[in-house]
Amino acid sequence: MTDNPLNIEGAVCPVPLTHNEQIVMGHGSGGRMSHDLIRKTFLAAFDNSILRTGDDAAPLEIDGAELSVSVDAHVVTPLFFPGGDIGKLAVCGTVNDVAMLGARPLYLTAAFILEEGLPIEILQRVVDSMKSAADEAGVQIVAGDTKVVERGKADGLYVTTTGVGLRRAGQRVGGAEAKAGDVVILSGTIGDHGIAVLGARGELGFTSDIQSDVAPLNHLIEAMLDASPNIHVLRDPTRGGLATTLNEIAAQSKCGIMLNEDAIPVHPAVNAACEMLGFDPLYVANEGKLVAMVAKEDAERVLAAMRKTHYGEEAVIIGEVTAEPQSRVLLRIAIGTTRIVDMLAGEMLPRIC
Amino acid sequence: MTDNPLNIEGAVCPVPLTHNEQIVMGHGSGGRMSHDLIRKTFLAAFDNSILRTGDDAAPLEIDGAELSVSVDAHVVTPLFFPGGDIGKLAVCGTVNDVAMLGARPLYLTAAFILEEGLPIEILQRVVDSMKSAADEAGVQIVAGDTKVVERGKADGLYVTTTGVGLRRAGQRVGGAEAKAGDVVILSGTIGDHGIAVLGARGELGFTSDIQSDVAPLNHLIEAMLDASPNIHVLRDPTRGGLATTLNEIAAQSKCGIMLNEDAIPVHPAVNAACEMLGFDPLYVANEGKLVAMVAKEDAERVLAAMRKTHYGEEAVIIGEVTAEPQSRVLLRIAIGTTRIVDMLAGEMLPRIC
């Protein structure tokens, strides 16, 4: 399932689900609770080798065409926030997931669940924003569906997008491909999206000019793949933040990841907001950033290519892939001092995407 | 968009949308209001040649592979009803839409929006039902997503499925392909699904044993395509019923359709329920039936092939395609007497799929 639920090794599973259990907000966090639900409920039932790959998109081969297919439901609240809205998010989120297999996104489908009473003007703004994001990404929206539910049975609107793209022949990119010695590259600052959405909810307690980073990253990825055939992993650290995403990759690739805290860029306003709210930016969602694991000898070339693109201007090296400790992410916080960075445990920021 | 929104010719559009307009339940009916919304809001923004084909699935060509892709959001209430549930519906609905382009459905994605407090046991039953339907159809669920919204912000669960299939080379099946002289075949009784769901809601005023017909029709379609290369149109008459579906096809193909009322099979219990409720079975949803427009010379061969399959046992000829009147469906109710059968105008049965 999307958001890497299948890295079974990384998940701790203290008790089996019982008949009394209910869905709680934490099941939508993208962290450990999401992984547990998906593993025990969805993967247990639907199990197949494609689903088991555990990437943000499914690698399919149909009639010789090597495809990348991904789906995301979008329930962000509020519908509009600084830097974006649910429509832009729905297009960019799926475009990015498709592209993270090293694929060129081509087509999207969009299914709307609309709440009775939603002003059509609001819907129109969301649709126009989707069109604009699709144009920037260079994808077409080719199929859709519209359902309406009664007042109170939705929250304005939800939109689910599915994307189809074409993978590059001969280039194998996926969460299980990280290799000891690879360099870890991050495309820019972390935490912007999560804090921007919190700000739009009035939950910061102060006004802020933090904008969501929501953006289509497929052109950035094209530039990276053009620069090097040795890009092993690409992933966007969305729900659960950079920490959760790196834990997923470490588990999939059975490797360790060592990060340098000083190297990880955080917007000062995001840092300030996180300090006030007691959040760690490593766990705050991004919607326009990617991490890449790249062969060391190609790292500078890839970095240079990234920095020539709009969404990769601030790309930096933040760490390296190690052989040990397997399935662990460590953060070097001072010379000779490291701490373990775990996956997001419970629920931190609901309805963030 | 799915459910044939794009047959522009068939839609009457009395007033443009204004800024004061809101979403109402009728926008989800699958009838004229749905078509108007989709045309003015979605198609106006996303316009492209693939979307404009107006079939239940999008015909895509990627790297030489001729694909059929379709999406449907599912919001049926209640979640469980005689003969099926939201999970079976979500798999069969999308499998069927993909297959209606003359394609073999291969893969599905599934995105869940879960309401906080939903018993996991309920989710498990839905997921198990999806697995069972996917197995019957012979498709794999290869990607997914899970979001959680607060209590009251959904109605238990919604699930959106997207399907990808491979079209048969050289066989052109679509809503615009009906030709004057074609025979109209219906695979069985109409109205079962809509009445079964109403019964599950306790809205019939009496108990009934009517079961939903929800079923995957892809194997039936394979048998039909094997029997004849001259199947021009395939479509499942879901929301809006047979009447709306045939109006869509008549508009897409710029032809007329003449039906024989006596030939259209309706389960006696469905007929009785419709009479009590003031419904016309022609407008009641089906989820396991199809209509086909077939070249006259092949009709008997196709019928024979259908009747050998489980879901086509009761297939019958219900009418023919005519050159005139263009974009109209007529019903012969007695020798020499016909009436116009229009598209569903407003909203009849909300949350039926």
Q: Does residue A16 have a cis peptide bond before it, meaning omega lies within 30 degrees of 0?
A: no
> Contact B140/A46, CB-based, under 8 Å?
yes
Q: By the CB < 8 Å criterion, does A99 face chain B?
A: no
Residue A13 has pLDDT above 50, yes or no: no
For all residues of chain B together, what is the average pLDDT? 93
> Contact B110/A65, CB-based, under 8 Å?
no
* Domain coordinates in residue numbering, chain A: 25-167, 175-340
Task: Report whether B223 contacts B315 (CB < 8 A).
Answer: no
| In chain B, % of residues over pLDDT 70 | 94
Q: How would residue B256 be classed by pLDDT, with cut points 50, 70 and 90?
A: very high
Fold of the CATH domain B25-167: 60s Ribosomal Protein L30; Chain: A; (3.30.1330)
Provide mean pLDDT across the span A327-340.
93
Cα B26 to Cα A94, B38, B217, B310, distances in angstroms: 29, 12, 28, 34
Rounded CA separation A289/B73 (Å): 29
> Percent helix, strand, coil in chain B (nearest 5)?
35, 25, 40
Size of interface A-B (CB pairs under 8 A): 311
Task: Tally Cβ neighbours within 10 Å of residue B279.
Answer: 20
Closest-approach residue (CA) in chain B for A41 = B124
Task: Report whether A287 contacts A92 (CB < 8 A).
Answer: yes
pLDDT digits (tens, 9 = 90+) for A143-169: 999 999 999 999 999 999 999 999 998
Rounded CA separation B92/B96 (Å): 6
Q: For tokens 């040795």, what's the residue?
A: A230
pLDDT digits (tens, 9 = 90+) for A251-291: 999 999 999 999 999 999 999 999 999 999 999 999 999 99
> Contact A109/B58, CB-based, under 8 Å?
yes
Q: How would residue B13 be classed by pLDDT, with cut points 50, 70 and 90?
A: very low
pLDDT digits (tens, 9 = 90+) for B27-85: 999 999 999 999 999 999 999 999 999 999 999 999 999 999 999 999 999 999 999 99
For all residues of chain A together, what is the average pLDDT? 93
Rounded CA separation A95/A216 (Å): 6
pLDDT digits (tens, 9 = 90+) for A33-66: 999 999 999 999 999 999 999 999 999 999 999 9
Q: What integer pLDDT is reported at residue B207 of this predicted model?
A: 81
- Pairing type for strands B103-115 and B140-149 reads parallel
> Contact A113/B75, CB-based, under 8 Å?
yes
A-interface mutation test, from B2, B3, B15, B23, most A Cβ less than 10 A away: B23
Tell me which architecture the domain covering B175-340 has in CATH.
Alpha-Beta Complex (3.90)
**pTM for this model (two decimals):** 0.94
Chain A residues in contact with B201 (beta carbon < 8 A)? none
Rounded CA separation A277/A312 (Å): 28
Closest-approach residue (CA) in chain B for A158 = B113
- Pairing type for strands B231-235 and B157-167 reads unpaired
> Contact A37/B158, CB-based, under 8 Å?
no
Provide mean pLDDT across the span B107-111.
98
Q: What integer pLDDT is reported at residue A171 of this predicted model?
A: 86
Question: How much is the CA Rg of chain B, to the nearest whole Å?
Answer: 19
Residue B229 has pLDDT above 60, yes or no: yes
Side by side, the strands of the sheet bearing A157-167 are A58-62, A65-74, A157-167, A103-115, A140-149
Question: Residue A349's closest CA among A248, A270, A291?
Answer: A270
Q: Given B63, B74, B160, which is nearest A65 (Cβ)?
A: B63
CA angle B244, B111, A347 (to 5 degrees): 145
